[in-house]
Amino acid sequence: MKSEKCILARLSFIPAVIVLVIGITLPARAESFHNAPQSVARQENPYTGQRNAETGHELYERRCAGCHGQDAQGAGNVPSLASGPTQAAKPGEIFWFITRGDVTNGMPSWASLPEQQRWQIVAYLKSSQNPNGSPLVASSGMETTGDGKLDAPAPTPPFTDFRFEKPGTFRKITLQDLPAPFATKPVGNGPRIVPRPENVWPQAPEGFKVELYTTGLDNPRLIRTAPNGDFFVAESRPGRIMIFRGITSDDKPEITSIFASGLDRPFGIAFYPQGPHPRWVYVGDTNAVLRFPYRNGDLRARGPAQHLADLPSGRGHWTRDVRFSPNGKKMFVAVGSGSNVDDPDTHPAEKDRANILEFNPDGSEMRIYAYGIRNPVGLAINPQTGQLWCSVNERDMLGDNLVPDYITHVQAGGFYGWPWWYMGGHQDPRLAGKHPELRDKVITPDVILQPHNASLEMTFYEGKQFPHEYYGDIFASEHGSWNRSIRAGYEVIRVPLHHTGHASGEYEDFLTGFVLPDGNVWGRPVGVTVAHDGSLLVTDDGSGSIWRVVYAGK
């Protein structure tokens, strides 16, 4: 291990989730930060002031930004640290946690690091000079752009990486392709986000054209098309829902408006009742389902939010997508886990998490619809079958090619393995011997994706602009890996359903080019939606843009 790597980096070699120094492994602060003893809360930082904070900033830039971004807003399953338990923690508690670690969640002890440097990290974390008030995070234990990586041999099919992603390439991964756990060393290799070079553009299959619909957005995430054709976009970090209306002759929005603000990391957006005349816009905040009164054409919510239901929240995966059953009688809400592989038997914070929850539309009568789904980020209803589908971020730190992310239809009462099992009854070695009675209940997903792709939003294509063969297919965004020695993902994929409503397990690289040849990243797809004219819109929180894909062929 090279000494210049992040002081928290080597946690990525522990066979557990790579976590934030002071982030995703931390529960909401109740009595103390991560159960730190009261005595450490009284301990003051002996290395305060601007110079020490600047030194801490340099440490972060040089050693930690690879996994967690230049602005410390996180990557992959790492949430933003600009707010939450870390910001509320005392300097002594943070120092204590860096020193002590939490091996169960992949955070080793850094007692061997010079004490001054540990305190300088705390100084940077607590400094008002921190960009956006963002805290320091854990980082990779490996370099992210070294020649030895980018010049590495091609991966063995069906596994791939960004160097070989190309529009029109079809792939299929099966259970027989999965390696043994720890066949390769777990790594942390988060993206270094850079500005998009002027001569670089997303790449689509022949016959398609990509246009820049709008840019300059702040953390655009989920995007949904309203019944009247407006595009609703969740800007999660600033806590608001935006509306973009129309497409001008130069392919830009005609009108932009803030529909609602003051939210807590909003993500899911749904219109209710379904059909041409909704009366409400539902929003999945990170800790609640809200709804705003709405009529077609409203550019601002016509009333305050109504709180319908509390949701499990705290550390870990924070996105909460919302969808309704075809008959409108049930509301589905996706809630990701609070950790990588914490055992819910011994971790009460995982209660009702890693599940898809079901409610009545008024938020009453909550029940677990399906469980063992580590992070079901994107939800969609298959228009042909009426089934609920989801895209899932699976667990980390078992090697480059475990555990694959996936897209699947969701069976009521279905068990998808997390955290004890995965993919057809493979047991996670970190929880060996637990729940053998569940082994035969693990459902194999419909489409197995590249491991660590970070599959986020998905939609079924019901437009008429693309060739007929695309009708009914799935388009899904792959935000991009952080837990892989060479990046994978950073693309939009297509899952062909062959007009049957059912997947055969294959998928196609559709929109690529978000990673530069040197391994730096300029774009990260998140949301996908179909416009009324049949074009496909894709949000990109790496460049703060929305891209529009149109079919220009015959």
Alpha helix ranges (H) inside 50-114: 50-63, 65-68, 85-88, 91-100
Contact 191, 524 (CB under 8 A): yes
Domains of the chain: 9-133 (1.10.760), 169-551 (2.120.10.30)
Q: What is the pLDDT of residue 388?
A: 98
pLDDT in tens, the chain (554 residues): 434 434 334 333 333 333 333 343 333 444 567 788 888 888 888 888 767 776 665 566 555 554 445 456 554 445 445 556 777 888 888 888 888 887 555 566 777 778 888 888 888 887 743 434 433 333 333 333 333 467 889 999 999 999 999 999 999 999 999 999 999 998 888 898 999 999 999 999 999 999 999 999 999 999 999 999 999 999 999 999 999 999 999 999 999 999 999 999 999 999 999 999 999 999 999 999 999 999 999 999 999 999 999 999 988 899 999 999 999 999 999 999 999 999 999 999 999 999 999 999 999 999 999 999 999 999 999 999 999 999 999 999 999 999 999 999 999 999 999 999 999 889 999 999 999 999 999 999 999 999 999 999 999 999 999 999 999 999 999 999 998 999 999 999 999 999 999 999 999 999 999 999 999 999 999 999 999 999 999 999 999 999 999 999 87
| pTM attached to this predicted model | 0.81
Residue 390 and residue 372 in contact, taking contact as beta carbons nearer than 8 Å: no
SS (H, E, C) 259-318: EECCCCCCCEEEEECCCCCCCEEEEECCCEEEEEECCCCCCCCCCCCEEEEECCCCCCCC
The pLDDT value recorded for residue 127 is: 77
Preceding peptide of 419 cis, ω within 30°: yes
Bridge partners of 331, per DSSP, are 324, 359
Q: Answer whether 494's CB lies under 8 Å from 475's CB.
A: yes
**Alpha-carbon distance 266 to 287, whole Å?**
9
Q: What is the sign of the dihedral through the CA atoms of 359, 503, 428 and 319?
A: negative
Q: How far apart are CA 430 and CA 425, in angstroms?
A: 15
Rounded to whole angstroms, how far apart are CA atoms 278 and 490?
A: 34
Question: What span, in angstroms and rounded, lies between the C-alpha atoms of 445 and 404?
Answer: 10
Cα(461)–Cα(469) distance, rounded to whole angstroms? Answer: 10
Q: Residue 472 corresponds to which amino acid? A: G
Measured CA to CA in angstroms, residue 10 lies from 20, 56, 121, 464 at distances of: 12, 18, 16, 50
In the chain, % helix, strand, coil (3-state, to 5) comes to: 15, 25, 60
Quote the tokens at residue 18: 């790579």
Burial class (CB in 10 A: 0-12, 13-18, 19+), 336: buried
User: Contact 545/220 with Cβ under 8 angstroms?
Assistant: yes
Whether 402 and 181 have beta carbons less than 8 Å apart is answered as yes
Tokens of 412: 């009521």
User: Letter for the amino acid at 478?
Assistant: E
